[in-house]
Amino acid sequence: MKKNNIKSDLLKYKKINYRVELIPDNRDGGFVAVIPDLPGCISQGETEEEALKMIAEAKVLWIEEELKRGRTIPLPREKYSGKFIVRVPKTLHERLSLEAEREGVSLNTEVISILERGFVRA
């Protein structure tokens, strides 16, 4: 890839907002910053602010290196709309609908309630 293309592509990708995860470093103190959509793009800092500054620099270096290698830069994952469609057996649909009716709520509200109660974080 030509240097001019790398520079223009780098400018384009620098403007993209990637999600950053800040993780407290319980062992050494400070914070680890990761951009999940850019595999291996990680940095750290003593404070949240420093970690965010460092990950911004790491992002640019990561993208620049990938462009030099001729690799495709992944775009951020889509934002979640909060809406998805699930197909269930008719018998389950019936049971859920009857339970929602007994509770006096919509089917949607009943399913959300069940999901929230059953969702366990590891």
Reference 19, options 60, 52, 54; nearest CA is 52
Structure confidence at residue 59 (pLDDT): 97
Structure confidence at residue 28 (pLDDT): 83
Structure confidence at residue 78 (pLDDT): 78
How far apart CA 41 and CA 30 sit, in angstroms, is 17
User: pLDDT under 50 in the chain at which residues?
Assistant: 1, 122
Structure confidence at residue 107 (pLDDT): 93
How far apart CA 82 and CA 112 sit, in angstroms, is 11
Q: Are 41 and 62 in contact (CB under 8 A)?
A: yes
Structure confidence at residue 80 (pLDDT): 76
Structure confidence at residue 122 (pLDDT): 43
Q: Which amino acid is at 122?
A: A
**What mean pLDDT, rounded, does the chain reach?**
90
Q: Are 52 and 22 in contact (CB under 8 A)?
A: yes
Structure confidence at residue 63 (pLDDT): 96
